[in-house]
Amino acid sequence: MRIGHVNLAQPLILAPMAGITDQYFRLILKRIGGVGLVSMEFISSEALTRGSHRTRHMMQFSEEERPLAIQIYGSDPERMADAAGFVQALGADIVDINMGCPANKVLKGCAGAALMGDPDLARAIVRRVRQSVRIPLTVKFRVGLDDRRANFLELGRICQEEGADAVALHARTARQMFSGRADWERIRLLKETLAIPVSGNGDVETPADAAALFQATGCDAVMIGRAAIKNPWIFRQIAALRAGQQPLEPGLEERRVLILQHFALLREREDERSALHKIRTFTGWYTHGLPNGRTLRQRINGLVSVAEFIDAIEDFFRMVQAA
Ligand SMILES: Cc1cc2nc3c(=O)[nH]c(=O)nc-3n(C[C@H](O)[C@H](O)[C@H](O)COP(=O)(O)O)c2cc1C
């Protein structure tokens, strides 16, 4: 699968997730393997072009993560074009425009999903961004603001006409936020309508779901968000399934190593407090469904040192293994 000149070894994409798809998580996924493209969490074009130090810090990435897409959001075509230029200068492989975020904070600035309610502005943004960068350009959107205004086909055509190299559809409306089910039929319709590659997104929870999404819609790539947090092996499992092999379930040892590796990555760059804060959340997901996971989560909540955290993890896995 190709997006512009960028070749994806697998048609499998890590969805952008604010607060989740930071450099550490992207590296974890790349090292596990199977993922064809990783996405950074979305970046405000306002903050980026104002020179926000925090924003620029968030945008660090390494060669190991390639190919990497950086997603920007905003409502001003000129600022979006400048932000895209910055993304290109930084060396990202792909710049992605967010037209799907339903969060109020973003909608109030008329960005994210609000752009689906203003196709002329959406067009102006894609056009200006296209003019400002040579790297492949993608757009991620939803079905529409709500079911009455399901204009994803119009939006897809706009993106294509204005030179986007691919689009991704999260098959829910903005009003749905994350409720209900993603309507994959809409992904099929978009794929049927457009000539550029279409990534299908929404509610892929297992490798079998990914196979079903490819099958039902003919989409060019499958994009996965939430399931990858609980199961970062999912891309490797889907790649195995696509190669006709049985997907391997991660064992306890792999989970233990995963948590310690993620923590080690955090500690390389973050101070102790911040590393502990971040790893707590991920440990909750990585131990999801294991016996006594809740006891572990309670224990690590109060911990303030690296050594205590590592002890807690080692104790937990010893206990689960012995059970
Ligand atoms: C915590 C969280 C943060 C998200 N942040 C973004 C974001 O920054 N940009 C974006 O386009 N979508 C964002 N999304 C939406 C996901 O990219 C994806 O479209 C959605 O979760 C549906 O896919 P899934 O069912 O595989 O999770 C976010 C989703 C979650 C759960």
| Number of domains forming the structure of the chain | 2
Q: pLDDT means per 10 residues in the chain (323 residues)?
A: 98 97 97 97 95 92 98 97 98 97 80 93 98 98 96 98 98 96 98 98 98 98 97 98 94 96 96 95 92 92 94 96 88
Residue nearest to atom 13 of ligand 1 (CA): 17
Q: 54 in a domain, yes or no? A: yes
Domain extent, residue 68, equals 2-242
For the residues of 88-138, what is the DSSP string, one character each?
HHHT-SEEEEEE----HHHHHTT-GGGGGG-HHHHHHHHHHHHHH--S-EE
Q: Is this model's pTM higher than 0.95 or not?
A: yes
The answer to whether residues 119 and 38 belong to one domain is: yes
Query: Would you state the pLDDT for residue 289?
Result: 87
Q: 247 in a domain, yes or no? A: no
d(CA 14, ligand 1 centre) in Å: 10
Best of 170, 229, 230, 282 for a ligand 1 pocket test (most atoms within 8 Å of beta carbon): 170
Place of tokens 């006594």: 292
Residue nearest to atom 28 of ligand 1 (CA): 17
The answer to whether residues 220 and 271 belong to one domain is: no
Query: Would you state the pLDDT for residue 102?
Result: 87
d(CA 225, ligand 1 centre) in Å: 6
Q: Is residue 291 reached through a cis peptide bond, with omega within 30 degrees of 0 on the bond before it?
A: no
Query: Would you state the pLDDT for residue 210?
Result: 98
pLDDT in tens, 173-200: 999 999 999 999 999 999 999 999 999 9
Q: 108 in a domain, yes or no? A: yes
**Among candidate residues 216, 242, 268, the one where a domain is terminated:** 242
Query: Would you state the pLDDT for residue 174?
Result: 95
Three-state DSSP state, 21:
coil
Closest ligand 1 atom to residue 96 Cα is 11
Query: Would you state the pLDDT for residue 14?
Result: 98
The answer to whether residues 110 and 7 belong to one domain is: yes
**Among candidate residues 224, 242, 260, the one where a domain is terminated:** 242
